Structure 1
Amino acid sequence: MVYFTNRLLLVFVLVNLIPSSKSILNDSDVEGRMDFLQSSMDRMEHRILTLTKTVNKLSKRKKDEHVMFYATLSSDTVLNINSIVKFNEIQFDEGADFNSGDGVFVSPVSGVFMFSWTTLTYSGKSIDTELRVDNIVKAKQIISLGSSAGSIQSTQFVICRVNEKDHVWIQTGAGFTTENFFDHLFKGSKSSFMGILIHVI
């Protein structure tokens, strides 16, 4: 309805812009005016379409340039082998691409990312973790503490290419230990997972 109304308004404006004649219009005059009106409307529609595409492209570029998340564990967690670590406290998520329910990040774009995860555990415990991109291991991290080590945290960084719609997560390894003890908090330190888009490909 709005589009139809706009076309009528455009026709009205264009008709009034065309010099009027006191003489009786013949068929060729009418056809000439109609051709002029149609040509003017076509040009106007093309400009509107071009402007709309430009705005959409700029909006998408702005979203693409700001992809990042940071999540932590809310409680002590013990996991068996091959288990996804569900970082269920979202501290920051630009773009809402990290799912705190399953601990998985879904990339909205193809690009180069930096990922980092921190594991915190305590005396006599072990943690074996790995970063996976669409189920392919990109990096690993192992902590194994002695009986009097106290609480220790370790952080691993990785830079890798991720395709649009790829799933990225942290999970426990397959063989180092069957009991991975994650301490969620020690003097302000937490087990965590983060990712930042470096640039779009």
Structure 2
Amino acid sequence: MDFIFKLCLIFVLLKVVPSKSIRNDTDTDSRMELMETSMEKMEQRILNLTNEVTKLSKRKKDEHVMFYVTLSSDITLNQRSIVKFNEIQYEEGANLNSGDGVFVSPVSGVFMFAWTIRTSSGKIIYTELMVDNVVKATQILQPGSSVPKIQTTQFVICRVNEGDHVWIETGKGFTSENFFDEYYSSKSSFMGILIHRF
């Protein structure tokens, strides 16, 4: 900001001081009035530039909204439970609360969401992507007893409005116990990326 101010000041001084009308004019009051007018114009230009820089920086921040979170340990959840992905691996311009597992969109736009669910043999997991209490997609994972561990990923592209809440929760059917198995670095995860802003 100091750089912009100095640049504008130099520009005004170069434009005002060498002016032929000022050099030829011996009236001090006229020169002072002209300087004051020039300073007011410069202040207005600096204010306009400051507002533009603020808008551009906010727009850049809003255009880069993404997050990637994982589960830190094995959990078993009942039906209609929010999956609280509690390890934030990456976040930029996003507003994801690792305490409750809910993402609040800072902008309106088209997002891509994906969630990976991992479980072990004989277990069932039924999950849904929710956007303000509306189911946008479901994922059901039901490995047989001969499969020791398995994971699947579901991708969804959908419109989200500014302030909408987005989360993964267990569904209301298929099983009353949803077992999320975390094995070394292979974890259940949830991610979202802004594709296009409105």
The TM-score with structure 2 as length reference comes to 0.83
1:158 deviates by: 0.1
Q: Given the alignment, which residue of 114, 119, 127 partners 1:121?
A: 119
User: In structure 1, the residue corresponding to 2:125 is in which secondary structure?
Assistant: strand
1:35 deviates by: 4.8
Query: Which residue number in structure 1 is paired with residue 137 of structure 2?
Result: 139
User: Can you give the 5+ residue segments of structure 2 that lack an aligned partner in the other structure?
Assistant: 1-8
Give yes or no for contact 1:124–1:144 (8 Å, CA) kept in 2. yes
Does the alignment pair 1:191 with 2:197?
A: no
Q: 1:22-171 residue pairs with structure 2 within 5 A?
A: 30=29, 32=30, 35-171=33-169
User: In structure 1, the residue corresponding to 2:49 is in which secondary structure?
Assistant: helix
Query: Which residue number in structure 2 is paired with residue 5 of structure 1?
Result: none
Q: Report the identity percentage.
A: 68
User: How many residues are matched?
Assistant: 183
For 1:177, the aligned partner's letter is T
1:105 deviates by: 1.0
Deviation string for 1:27-64 (max 9, x for gaps)? xx84x556534432331122011101111121112212
Aligned mates of 1:96, 1:114 — CA distance in 2: 13
User: In structure 1, the residue corresponding to 2:47 is in which secondary structure?
Assistant: helix
Aligned mates of 1:46, 1:101 — CA distance in 2: 45
Give yes or no for contact 2:118–2:187 (8 Å, CA) kept in 1. yes
The TM-score with structure 1 as length reference comes to 0.81
Aligned mates of 1:65, 1:184 — CA distance in 2: 33
Query: Which residue number in structure 1 is paired with residue 4 of structure 2?
Result: none
User: In structure 2, the residue corresponding to 1:189 is in which secondary structure?
Assistant: coil
Give yes or no for contact 1:185–1:191 (8 Å, CA) kept in 2. no
Give yes or no for contact 1:68–1:94 (8 Å, CA) kept in 2. yes
Give yes or no for contact 1:103–1:169 (8 Å, CA) kept in 2. yes
Aligned mates of 2:133, 2:33 — CA distance in 1: 61
User: Can you give the 5+ residue segments of structure 1 that lack an aligned partner in the other structure?
Assistant: 1-8
Query: Which residue number in structure 1 is paired with residue 5 of structure 2?
Result: none
Deviation string for 1:160-180 (max 9, x for gaps)? 111112111000011221110
